[in-house]
């Protein structure tokens, strides 16, 4: 079996490459290094069956030889990244997805799209089941990411219906773990690096908005189960344990053992006020649910940041 992972040098892509190799597959990682880095894959380079190819998938995707699975993860994903790279984000969600689907069609491979809970926008249904169509502002600054993913979902379904490609869509909720960048603007990297440095911890708004965070190992397991099923999705993969952003900041500070003060900064435009996955479908159809507890996951991510910042 041979898998292609677009965005393989990113945070999630690198964990997926590792898991696929551990499971005995050959893996081809395609990445332009726009927001990821070959360093994330340094430990896999040289391993039997692994190949990393620098490719901008908005231009073309070509992989010689057989391919059984295409995991399409290339896209700027943190708010800082997609706000700085709006056109690149729209291009990779549209042209990049078109090319990745073309590869799956050509090779007769199963295609898995990394979609996002951001397709639900600032939701008016809580928690969010897959049947909810979302509440997205297409012309706001975040629209570049949310709409790129909504388009990518529509394109994926069109390839399934029109060309019979075997597709799956996963809607990923906020994930954390090793190999996140300290300065990528997401809450946990920001809180952890601020707390570790003894700097003020910046909480957006009054911190009452909620998030539900999942540890990367749980996410990867859910994605593997979806990949190996015949489910088309979309399927939510996330941890329903919901906390306020202020509580998250306080917990990170406590686990770091820091006395950083918490300061409040303006909330980004269209920042969702609540976020919690309904995972009934993943539980029922994939027999999956998260196993890493909130505090345990945070401890593991903080340990990684502690080491990364020392390096
Ligand atoms: P990341 O930025 O670490 O990884 C994305 C990778 O895609 C990077 O290595 C980047 O260089 C690559 N890339 C971007 N444009 C490309 C292009 N045109 N051609 C080739 N490679 C390109 O982000 P991540 O957190 O690992 O997210 C991976 C995927 O998962 C994204 O599609 C994201 O939307 C989705 N997702 C992530 C989360 C999360 O919490 N991390 C949540 C929901 C969805």
Give tens-digit pLDDT for 96-132. 999 999 999 999 999 999 999 999 999 999 999 999 9
With a 6 A CB cut-off, is 116 part of the ligand 1 pocket?
yes
For the CA of 9, the nearest atom of ligand 1: 9
Q: What is the CA radius of gyration of the chain?
A: 19
Identify the residue with better confidence: 271 or 289: 289
With a 6 A CB cut-off, is 57 part of the ligand 1 pocket?
yes
The mean per-residue pLDDT over the stretch 276-286 comes to 98
| % of the chain at pLDDT higher than 90 | 96
CA nearest 128: which of 169, 171, 167? 171
Is 2-175+214-237 in CATH node 3.40.50.720? yes
Can you give the pTM of this predicted structure? Answer: 0.97
Using one digit for the tens of pLDDT, what is the confidence trace for 86-97? 999 999 999 999
Mutation pick for ligand 1 pocket among 62, 73, 112, 277 (CB with most ligand atoms within 8 Å): 73
Token pair 């993913």: residue: 149
Mutation pick for ligand 1 pocket among 4, 6, 10 (CB with most ligand atoms within 8 Å): 10
User: Is there a contact between 157 and 167 (Cβ–Cβ < 8 Å)?
Assistant: yes
Task: Say what the pLDDT of residue 275 is.
Answer: 94
Task: Determine the distance separating the centroid of ligand 1 and the alpha carbon of 33, expressed in angstroms.
Answer: 10
Task: Determine the distance separating the centroid of ligand 1 and the alpha carbon of 260, expressed in angstroms.
Answer: 31
Alpha carbon distance 90, 221 (integer Å): 28
With a 6 A CB cut-off, is 13 part of the ligand 1 pocket?
yes
Q: Tell me the two tokens of residue 157.
A: 């379904």
Task: Say what the pLDDT of residue 270 is.
Answer: 87
User: Is there a contact between 75 and 93 (Cβ–Cβ < 8 Å)?
Assistant: yes
Task: Say what the pLDDT of residue 198 is.
Answer: 94
Task: Determine the distance separating the centroid of ligand 1 and the alpha carbon of 262, expressed in angstroms.
Answer: 29
The mean per-residue pLDDT over the stretch 126-139 comes to 96
Task: Say what the pLDDT of residue 310 is.
Answer: 83
Alpha carbon distance 138, 117 (integer Å): 15
Task: Say what the pLDDT of residue 117 is.
Answer: 97
The CATH class for the domain spanning 181-211+241-271+293-310 reads alpha beta
Q: Tell me the two tokens of residue 261.
A: 């003060």
Q: Domain extents for the chain?
A: 2-175+214-237, 181-211+241-271+293-310
Where residue 183 falls among pLDDT bands split at 50, 70, 90? confident
Alpha carbon distance 226, 201 (integer Å): 37
Task: Say what the pLDDT of residue 282 is.
Answer: 98
Task: Say what the pLDDT of residue 294 is.
Answer: 96
Alpha carbon distance 297, 254 (integer Å): 14
E strand residue ranges, the chain: 2-6, 26-31, 50-54, 69-72, 110-116, 167-172, 175-176, 201-204, 210-212, 214-215, 235-237, 242-244, 262-265
The mean per-residue pLDDT over the stretch 246-257 comes to 97
Task: Say what the pLDDT of residue 92 is.
Answer: 98
Task: Say what the pLDDT of residue 185 is.
Answer: 86
- Is 145 one of the catalytic residues? yes
Task: Determine the distance separating the centroid of ligand 1 and the alpha carbon of 172, expressed in angstroms.
Answer: 11
User: Is there a contact between 123 and 134 (Cβ–Cβ < 8 Å)?
Assistant: yes
With a 6 A CB cut-off, is 216 part of the ligand 1 pocket?
no
Alpha carbon distance 279, 235 (integer Å): 8
Q: Tell me the two tokens of residue 225.
A: 């189960």
Task: Determine the distance separating the centroid of ligand 1 and the alpha carbon of 188, expressed in angstroms.
Answer: 17
Alpha carbon distance 289, 105 (integer Å): 31
With a 6 A CB cut-off, is 292 part of the ligand 1 pocket?
no
With a 6 A CB cut-off, is 128 part of the ligand 1 pocket?
no
Q: Is the pLDDT of residue 67 over 90?
A: yes
Mutation pick for ligand 1 pocket among 61, 77, 170 (CB with most ligand atoms within 8 Å): 77
Alpha carbon distance 309, 302 (integer Å): 10
Q: Is the pLDDT of residue 311 over 90?
A: no
Which protein residue has the closest C-alpha to ligand 1 atom 13? Answer: 74
CA nearest 11: which of 275, 27, 31, 25? 31
Task: Say what the pLDDT of residue 279 is.
Answer: 98
Task: Determine the distance separating the centroid of ligand 1 and the alpha carbon of 84, expressed in angstroms.
Answer: 14
Where residue 56 falls among pLDDT bands split at 50, 70, 90? very high
The mean per-residue pLDDT over the stretch 42-55 comes to 96
The mean per-residue pLDDT over the stretch 185-200 comes to 94
| Mean pLDDT, the chain, integer | 96
How many angstroms separate the Cα of 206 from the Cα of each of 185, 203, 249? Answer: 18, 7, 12
Q: Report strand pairing: 214-215 vs 26-31.
A: unpaired
User: Choosing from 82, 145, 159, 215, which is the catalytic residue?
Assistant: 145
Where residue 52 falls among pLDDT bands split at 50, 70, 90? very high
Q: Which residues lie closer than 8 Å to 249 by C-beta, 6 or more apart?
A: 187, 191, 201, 203, 207, 262
């Amino acid at each position: 079996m041979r898998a292609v992972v677009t965005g393989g040098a990113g945070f999630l892509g690198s964990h997926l490459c590792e898991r696929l190799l551990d499971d005995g597959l050959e893996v081809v990682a395609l990445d332009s290094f726009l927001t990821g880095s070959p360093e994330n894959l340094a430990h896999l380079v040289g391993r039997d069956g692994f190949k990393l190819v620098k490719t901008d998938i908005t231009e073309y995707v070509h992989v010689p030889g057989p391919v059984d699975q295409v995991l399409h993860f290339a896209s700027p994903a943190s708010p800082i990244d997609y706000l700085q790279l709006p056109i690149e984000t729209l291009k990779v969600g549209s042209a990049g997805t078109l090319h990745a689907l073309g590869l799956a069609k050509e090779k007769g491979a199963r295609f898995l799209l990394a979609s996002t809970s951001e397709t639900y926008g600032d939701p008016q249904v809580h928690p969010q089941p897959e049947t909810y169509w979302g509440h997205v502002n297409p012309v706001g600054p975040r629209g570049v990411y949310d709409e790129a993913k909504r388009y990518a979902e529509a394109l994926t379904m069109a390839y399934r219906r029109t060309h019979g490609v075997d597709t799956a869509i996963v809607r990923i909720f906020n994930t954390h773990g090793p190999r996140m960048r300290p300065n990528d603007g997401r809450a946990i990297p920001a809180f952890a690096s601020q707390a570790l440095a003894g700097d003020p911890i910046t909480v957006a708004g009054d911190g009452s908005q909620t998030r539900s965070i999942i540890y990367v190992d749980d996410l990867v397991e859910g994605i593997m189960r979806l990949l190996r099923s015949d489910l088309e999705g979309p399927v939510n993969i996330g941890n329903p344990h919901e906390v306020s952003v202020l509580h998250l900041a306080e917990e990170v500070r406590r686990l770091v053992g820091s006395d950083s003060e918490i300061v409040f900064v303006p909330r980004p435009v269209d920042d969702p006020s609540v976020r919690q996955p309904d995972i009934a479908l993943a539980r029922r159809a994939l027999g999956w649910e998260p196993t890493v507890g909130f505090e345990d996951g945070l401890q593991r991510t903080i340990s990684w940041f502690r080491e990364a910042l020392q390096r």
